[in-house]
Amino acid sequence: MASITARRQQAATRVAFFIPGFVIASWAPLVPLAKARASLDDAMLGLVLLCLGLGSLVAMPLSGVLAARFGCRAVMVVAVAIMVSALPLLAVVDSPLAVGLVLLVFGAAIGGMDCVMNIQAVRVERESGRAMMSGFHAFYSIGSLVGAAAVTVLLSLGSGALLATALASGCAIAMAAVSMHAWRGDREPRGESAFAMPRGVVLVIGLICFVTFLVEGSMLDWSAVFLHEVRGIELAHAGWGFVAFNVAMTGARLLGDRVVDWLGHARAVLVGGLVASAGLVLATLSPGLAVTLSGFALLGVGCANIVPVMFTYAGRQHTLPESIAIPVVTTMGYAGILLGPALIGFIAHHGSLSLAFLICSAALACAAVAGAAIRLR
């Protein structure tokens, strides 16, 4: 009976990762529509999109406190309810203030879910006695691919934005309803839940996640610009850089648990970080498109298992309770996604985009060495 319960919790955890990836990716094809509906210029669009990240950053530490007090299941159910309610609203709101407020709430729900699902994943992986975190994170990537593709197809077929988002929300509700009973309901034994500044090994883990997420965010926003402006690739084909990176990362995460079991956590981080660093150097310095895309793919393969291993470490360390450590690590990583594109732009403005990518490569190599040097009892 215990093994059946364990398998159900593992499957339910994969669904928990799939849902936020699916829902937030369902919003991506709606951004141009929301911009037109609310009459947003580029500067205003950037400002309201910042609300999504701000909501996530505020909610992540709070969600860890709530998970410790009420259990992961309760927090994730509320987070799913909020995100599936907010998604259709993003298809109809027509003023900058309304878009910003809905994105703030939407981002808070996504951020809370991102944090607590990792707390759930750490506990399920620990009880399984084997590496599972990379596989869990792979389902977030799969959810993102499915969500973006599904809404894009619906819009292409003439479906209105409201109908497309309602269908996406309905799918998320159905998935949550099927799996929520296997989400963890256990609470912190002593009820110790509070906010804390990162310190010790938690700070190191958070900085490694910051660097890795910074690079991932930079690929989303700058890989197409690099291919177009530096490599001279037509705009219609410039998106293939991120596609190569994302598909390679998803595939590597699906196989990542076996790799981590084979290499061990420390070597998996070291090898992955060095492969990612070399891939980014290859993509930056190679003259041909095929080799550049291969470099982006190597970057995706190398980055794939670094963050999952760091979350495993966050659940094993004893500096902070996991209900505090995991929100801290999640928040620092998400800060990398938000700040990364801006930092790349600053370096590119004062130097070049190639220089910015090479600095990212060096940061990845340092993160790999630091991650491999972590020792936990």
190 located within any domain: no
Return the CATH number at 29.
Answer: 1.20.1250.20
189 located within any domain: no
Among 102-111, 248-257, 315-324, the range scoring the smallest mean pLDDT is 315-324
Q: What is the mean pLDDT of residues 250-268?
A: 91
Residues 13 and 132 in one domain: yes
Residues 161 and 247 in one domain: no
Residues 205 and 105 in one domain: no
Q: What is the mean pLDDT of residues 304-316?
A: 90
The mean of the pLDDT values for the chain is 88
Residues 212 and 241 in one domain: yes
* pLDDT tier, 192 (very low <50, low <70, confident <90, very high otherwise): low
Q: With DSSP H G I counted as helix, E B as strand and the rest as coil, what are the percentages for the chain, rounded to 5?
A: 85, 0, 15
* Digit-coded pLDDT (tens) for 90-106: 999 989 999 999 999 99
Residues 7 and 117 in one domain: yes
Last residue of a domain, one of 122, 154, 182: 182
52 located within any domain: yes
Measured over the CA atoms of residue 98, residue 100, residue 106 and residue 112, the dihedral's sign is negative
Residues 214 and 341 in one domain: yes
Which residues are CB-contacts of 157 (< 8 A; sequence separation ≥ 6)? none
- Are 304 and 178 contacting, i.e. CB atoms less than 8 angstroms apart? no
Residues 284 and 312 in one domain: yes
Q: Which of 306, 282, 308, 292 has its CA nearest to residue 244?
A: 292
Q: What is the mean pLDDT of residues 263-276?
A: 94
* pLDDT tier, 83 (very low <50, low <70, confident <90, very high otherwise): very high
Q: Which of 180, 187, 230, 208 has its CA nearest to residue 313?
A: 208
pLDDT in the model for residue 205: 94
Residues 248 and 306 in one domain: yes
188 located within any domain: no
Residue 63 pLDDT greater than 60, yes or no: yes
* pLDDT tier, 170 (very low <50, low <70, confident <90, very high otherwise): very high
Amino acid at 39: S
SS3 state at 183:
coil
Half-sphere exposure of 262 (CA within 13 A, CB side): 7
- Are 216 and 334 contacting, i.e. CB atoms less than 8 angstroms apart? no
Number of domains in the chain: 2
pLDDT in the model for residue 120: 92
pLDDT in the model for residue 51: 87
- Are 319 and 200 contacting, i.e. CB atoms less than 8 angstroms apart? yes
* Digit-coded pLDDT (tens) for 4-41: 688 899 999 999 999 999 998 888 788 888 888 888 88
191 located within any domain: no
240 located within any domain: yes
Residue 193 pLDDT greater than 70, yes or no: no
Provide the domain limits for residue 81.
2-182
Residues 263 and 348 in one domain: yes
Measured over the CA atoms of residue 158, residue 162, residue 166 and residue 168, the dihedral's sign is positive
- Predicted TM-score (pTM) of the model is 0.83
pLDDT in the model for residue 4: 62
Last residue of a domain, one of 126, 154, 182: 182
For residue 256 the two structure tokens come to 């990542």
Alpha helix ranges (H) inside 157-264: 161-179, 200-225, 240-254, 256-263
Residue-wise DSSP of 66-101: HHHHH-HHHHHHHHHHHHHHHHHHTTT--SHHHHHH
- 């020792």: which residue's tokens? 375
What does the H/E/C string look like for 137-159?
HHHHHHHHHHHHHHHHHHHHCCC
Residues 12 and 144 in one domain: yes
Residue 148 pLDDT greater than 90, yes or no: no
Residues 23 and 170 in one domain: yes
Q: What is the C-alpha separation between 371 and 302, in angstroms, rounded? A: 13
Half-sphere exposure of 339 (CA within 13 A, CB side): 12
195 located within any domain: no
Residues 207 and 138 in one domain: no
* Digit-coded pLDDT (tens) for 289-306: 889 999 999 999 999 999
- 């150097």: which residue's tokens? 281
For residue 34 the two structure tokens come to 């929301």
208 located within any domain: yes
Amino acid at 195: F
Last residue of a domain, one of 128, 152, 182: 182
pLDDT in the model for residue 1: 40
Q: What is the mean pLDDT of residues 197-217?
A: 89
